[in-house]
Amino acid sequence: MSESQANSDISSLPVRRRLWRKMLLILLLVLVLLGGLLLWACGGIQTARRFEGEIRDFYPAQTAVSPTDALTVMTWNIAWAYGAGSEGTGYEPRSREEMLERVEAIGEVIRDNKVDVVLLQEVDFDSSRSGRMDQLAELARVSGLRYGAYALSWKANYVPFPYWPPRRHFGRMRSGGAVLSRFPITNNIVFLHSKPDANSRIYNLFYLFRYMQRVSITIGDRKIQVVNNHLEAFDRTNRQQQAITAVNLLEQDALCIFGGDFNALPPEARQGHSRDDYGGDNTIEKLRDVPYLHDVTDLDDYQNNYDAWRTFPADKPELKLDYLFVSDGFTVESAQVIPADQWSDHLPIVCVISRK
C-alpha cells in the first residue's frame, strides 16, 4: 500500500464514524417512534385495578317505578350485537345501520321478557367495529330500563385484529360489561382481573381485561348487590383464580344476584361435543362451594334436560357457559334459556326471583 493510499484510508475514518452514528440515530428514532405508536395503539400500559364505574340515569324525567317483591333478571353476553363471528373467525365488518338494528333487536328481547335487571357482557360503548355508538344507551332506549352502570374493561386506540386484511381491524375499542336496571343504581365498582401470564406481553397489551362489576340497586327500602362477571375464556388457571377473587370481593350480608359469562362448564356436563371440554376445570364447583349462593338452574332439570340449558354457540348450542346465582334471601320462581339466537353468539338466561 502506498503512503497516499494509507493517508486516504485514515482520513476517511471520521466520515465512516459519522455515517454509522447517523444510521444508529435513525434506527433509534425509528424504534422510539414504533414504541410510541405501539403504546398509543394499545392505550398505554394498563394494569389490573379497582375503580368506580360510570352510572347514568337515561330518563331522569321518568316517573319512579314502585318497588316489587318479584324481580325478573337476565344475563346475556351480547357479543356487541355482531353474532356468530364476533371473536374474529369469519368476521366481516357490518355497517353502523345494521349494528343499530341488531342492538335494537336485543333491546326488544329484554323489553318483551319484562326484565327488571340485566347483566350484560361484551357491550361496546364507543368502538369502531360497531359504528362508534353507545350500545348501552341504545339498549336503555329500546328496553325502557332507566338506569345503567358501565364497566369499561377494554380500552385501546387501535386494535389490529383480525390481523389481515387491515379493513377488518377492530380499530378503536371502548368495550366491557354493564348492568341495566328498572330501579336506581347507587354504586358501581369495577374490578379488572389480571391477564393470563401465558400470553405474550405484546398480546396482553391489546387483550381485554376480564372483570367483576359490583353494583348496588335500591328497590324501595332494600338494597340488592348485583355482580356481573366475564371470566377468562382461554386460560383455565386464570379463570379459576378470577372466580375465587370475585367471590372474595362479595359483600356476604347483602341480598345478592351473581352471574355472567363464566366460560366454564358444570361438572355434570356431558362430553362428546365438538369444542374444548374444559377438562379439569373446577370454576363452577368453586362457586357452588359458596354457602350463600345458589344456581338458579335446577340441577335435576339440567341433568334430565341438558339441551335446554346450553347457551353457546347461540346458533347450535353445545355448552352451558352462562350462569345466574342468587343468595339465600331469594326464592327462584322460574328460570330458562331464551332462544334468541340471531343477535349474539350466546343465549340469554332469564329467571324470576322473589324475596323469601
Residue 19 has pLDDT above 60, yes or no: yes
Q: Which of 291, 315, 305, 313 is nearest to 335 (CA)?
A: 305
> CATH code at 76?
3.60.10.10
Output the DSSP codes for 236-300. HHHHHHHHHHHHHTS-TTSEEEEEEE-----TT--S--SS---TT--HHHHHHTSTTEEESS-HH
Strand partners, 294: 326
Q: Is residue 6's pLDDT more than 60?
A: no
Q: How far apart are CA 292 and CA 254, in angstroms?
A: 10
Reply yes or no on whether the pLDDT at 30 is more than 90.
no
Residue 203 CA, chain-centre distance (Å), reads: 17
Domain identity same for 188 and 334: yes
Residues 7 and 99 in one domain: no
Q: How far apart are CA 209 and CA 229, in angstroms?
A: 11
pLDDT for residue 143? 96
- Alpha carbon distance 140, 124 (integer Å): 14
Same domain, 116 and 211: yes
Residues 37 and 102 in one domain: no
Q: Which amino acid is at 345?
A: D
**Confidence at residue 9, expressed as pLDDT on a 0 to 100 scale:** 53
Confidence (pLDDT) at 187:
95
For 85-94, how does the pLDDT look when each residue is reduced to its tens digit (9 = 90+)?
A: 888 777 889 9
Q: Average per-residue pLDDT in the chain?
A: 89
Torsion angle defined by CA atoms of residues 41, 46, 48 and 53, in that order, rounded to the nearest 10 degrees: -80
25 and 123 within one domain:
no
Confidence class of residue 2 from pLDDT cuts 50, 70 and 90?
Answer: low
- The arithmetic mean of pLDDT across residues 27-50, rounded, is 83
Provide the domain limits for residue 295: 46-355
Tell me, yes or no, whether 193 and 322 share the same domain.
yes
Tell me how many domains the chain contains. Answer: 2
Q: Is 123 exposed, middle or buried (0-12, 13-18, 19+ CB in 10 A)?
A: buried
248 with 315, same domain?
yes
Categorize the per-residue pLDDT at 356 as very low, low, confident or very high, splitting at 50, 70 and 90.
Answer: confident
pLDDT tens for each residue of 136-145? 999 999 999 9
Position with higher pLDDT, 66 vs 58: 58
Mean pLDDT of 138-162: 95
Q: Are residues 18 and 53 part of one domain?
A: no
Are 38 and 63 in a shared domain? Answer: no
Kindly give, in sequence order, each residue whose CB lies less than 8 Å from that of residue 166, ignoring residues fewer than 6 positions away.
160
pLDDT above 70 (res 272): no
Taking the model in full, what pTM does it have?
0.90
Determine which of 36-45, 49-58, 216-225, 325-334 has the lowest per-residue pLDDT on average: 36-45
Q: What are phi and psi of 250, to 5 degrees?
A: -75, 150
| Same domain flag for 139 and 93 | yes
Query: Are residue 240 and residue 275 in the same domain, yes or no?
Result: yes
In this prediction, residues 259-271 reach a mean pLDDT of 87
Beta pairing class for 222-230 and 147-159 = unpaired
> How many residues appear in the chain?
356
Centre a 10 Å sphere on the Cβ of residue 144 and count the other Cβ atoms it contains: 17
Question: What is the rounded average pLDDT of the residues 26-30?
Answer: 81
